[in-house]
Amino acid sequence: MTDEAYRPRATVGPNMFYPHVWAMYKEQGWTALPLPKRAKQPPPSGFTGHGARRLELTDVDKWIHDKAYEFGNVALRMPENVIGIDVDVYNGGDKTLAELEARLGKLPKTWSSTSKDDGSRIMYFRVETGKRWKGDLGAGIDIIQSTHRYAVAPPSKHPNGNLYKWRNKQGRTTGRIPSRNELAILPQDWQDEADRKGASSGDMPPQDITDAETLAWLNERPQPDAYPCGMMEGAFQIAKENLHVSGHDVAKDATWKLVNLAREGHRGINRALSEVESAFVKTVKERRPDEEEARDEFAKLVTSAVGKARTMDELPPCFCIDADDLAAESDDEKLAAFEAEFLTTDDLDQIEPPKYLIKGQLTKNTTARLNGAPGSNKSIIALDMAACVGAGLDWKGHKVREQGKVVYLYAEGREGLPRRVRAWEKFHNRKMTGVVFLPRPVLIANKAEWRRLIAVCEKIKPALIVLDTQSRIFAGIVENDNAEMGLAFEEAIEKLRRATEACVLLIHHSTGETEKGRGASVITGALNTEIFVEREGDVVTVKNTKEKDEADSTVVKMKRLIIDSGLVDEDGDALTSVVLQLLSEMEKTGYTLNGEKQLPVHEQTVVNFVRESESGVRFSEAKRALSYTPQERPQASKFSESAFKRHWSKLKKAGVLKQAGAFYSVDEEALASYVEGMLF
């Protein structure tokens, strides 16, 4: 097989055959590795991280016939003289970049790649060879380098469907692949900032610590030789499953994860490290046939992790540490205490039965999830439930057991929150009370902030906590990975529930047209309740698809109604939002607001104005009174001329506005028919 077997095309595009992509990148001086279709990992084993193998034509030939990589994604391994500065805006990378540029000077324009439109990107720079680079430059900025990580590159597709694209030095999207010589040189001050200056590999700075001090620190942790707790076990199992991807990098991340868990008070650090060490030695056997050499490499990673952990504050034992064990009771005392926890069938009556929060929908001190496709109005339903719990109102015919406080983590679309709340208040003719909002995400991956969330919730003592949406707070965790998602659910969501005894309600996207939540199935198994939301036109159906120990399949059907929120946009036009009313109620009463049948706000305004004149009104008269022209300043009491004409025409066509010569009046019978037809 020769290079001529794969002649490159001019530009990269979706669904290209891997050998063509590989040849195109090779011609520009890059090493391109295959990835599965619409996935970020795993790359072929042994070709990334420290000691990565050199790519041969025989490897490319082998991957051509591997179905796992058919029309797959592409991973770029950085050349030794190139680094990628990976700016993640979602995690604060834009702020970190601004701070660094203020201190080190503006970065020169260079080539970049991205799958997003929020400013997140990987910027590629030429650098000096022979240096060791840091793993990051601060919050939200990682350094991709020849020995650490890789870049998912065009023509790859992100798991969410977005295409990765190249952007040239002018910021314009292009299908052309840059050569290494086209990349800007990273300024010296930036290279000095990124230089690890002789530190050991990994993200952690060098620490002055001996092997004896490392061992002493580990043995001072709670129950270091006990069987690892659930979180410690989950961490080492994830590491063992992923060591084949990049032995050194995964082991480095795992040692830090385990050491940090031990610092947080989790038991079993020594046994957990032993599990990862054994798997690491086995995995790197091809690269390091000398077992002692491999064990020395792992020991350095542990020492580096402990050195960093020693500089950080220690935390009290976590909830998974047994208090009796920490009290150093005798084995007999422990056994007797454990035996006392066993219950007879008569003793079971001592256990307090579950208490519902919203009967048939949500139960106190449980975890629940509300699934639905985008646009199904799942967030509107969650807000409605939250408002009813906060006010002590029954929710759509389902009794709210007691009024309670609600914490609502509104992690996306914060700009739409005010109008949704005001529309709910207007429709129900009451203030929304008992609900507090945090209009931004709190990431599970940010443990310090998650602990703060738990502490604040413990202080508020809510009956309901809404996390909207699951994907935003689980950012950075592989959604389809059962081990990773299960561990995060246990150490974050369940910990929040146990600390507050609230019902914790996750809002999540469903899978295709099914009733199941997207991603790892382990989450579904851990939930007490799962609710599916489906929308067909203006009818929204809520179905309880899972309820432990209770009858499920409770179905609630509602109608979407558009309500004027009382707020206006920058043009002075009314801002509307959606509220939901039970179909069964509407069949009895119609859509009512404060007891009076209503049209959509602008149509009602037109009807009211025409009604006021006994002799009728001219079109021009109504237009002058109710609308403003494009040349005029927007007014909250009026709507735009184009909107006025649209609503006038609609009412006229429906026969609601009856014309007699140049004058118009309201046909009340036609109006009644129009309202009924609009609602049903």
Average pLDDT, the chain: 81
Mean pLDDT, residues 49-72 taken together: 75
SS3 302: helix
Q: What is the 3-state secondary structure (H, E, C) of 72-110?
A: CEEEEECCCCEEEEEECHHHCHHHHHHHHHHHHCCCCCC
Q: How many CB atoms lie within 10 A of CB 461?
A: 12
pLDDT of residue 586: 54
**pLDDT (tens digit, 9 = 90+) per residue, 78-134?**
988 899 999 998 888 899 999 999 999 999 999 999 998 889 999 999 988 777 788
Q: What pLDDT shows up at residue 633?
A: 60
* DSSP 3-state percent helix, strand, coil across the chain (nearest 5): 40, 20, 40
Query: What confidence tier does 208 reach under pLDDT thresholds 50, 70, 90?
Result: low
Determine the pLDDT at residue 390.
94
For the ranges 57-71, 321-335, 345-359, the lowest mean pLDDT is seen at 321-335
Confidence at 147, pLDDT banded by 50, 70, 90: confident
Q: Hey, what are 82's tokens?
A: 């190139």
Is the model's pTM score more than 0.85? no
What pLDDT is attached to residue 323?
Answer: 40
Averaged pLDDT, 610-635: 80
pLDDT 10s digits, 174-186: 888 998 888 999 9
Least confident of 6-20, 294-308, 536-550: 6-20
> 3-class DSSP state for residue 408?
strand
Arithmetic mean of pLDDT, 503-527: 83
Per-residue confidence at 6, pLDDT binned at 50, 70, 90?
very low
Q: Is the pLDDT of residue 675 over 50?
A: yes
Buried b (16+ CB within 10 A) or exposed e, 260-292: bbbbbbbbbbbbbbebbbebbbebbeebbeeee
Answer yes or no: is pLDDT of 203 > 70.
no
CA dist., res. 533 & res. 515, Å (int) = 8
Angle formed at CA 287 by CA 286 and CA 291, multiple of 5 degrees: 80
- Residues 322-335: what's their mean pLDDT? 53
pLDDT at 367: 93
Tokens read off for 591: 């859509």
Helix pair angle (291-309, 247-263), 10° resolution: 40
More confident residue, 523 or 413: 523
Sorted by where each starts, the structural domains of the chain and their CATH numbers stand as 3-194 (no CATH), 211-309 (no CATH), 356-580 (3.40.50.300), 599-679 (1.10.10.10)
Question: What tens digit of pLDDT does each residue of 552-567 get?
Answer: 457 888 888 888 888 8
Residue 329 scores a pLDDT above 60: no
Q: What are phi and psi of 285, to 5 degrees?
A: -60, -35
Q: For 110-205, list the strands marked E by DSSP.
A: 112-114, 121-126, 136-138, 141-144, 151-153, 165-167, 173-174, 184-185
pLDDT for 15 equals 41
Q: How many angstroms separate the CA atoms of 112 and 121, rounded?
A: 6
The answer, yes or no, to whether the previous bond of 354 is cis (omega within 30 of 0) is no
pLDDT at 14: 43
Distance CA 320, CA 181 (A): 54
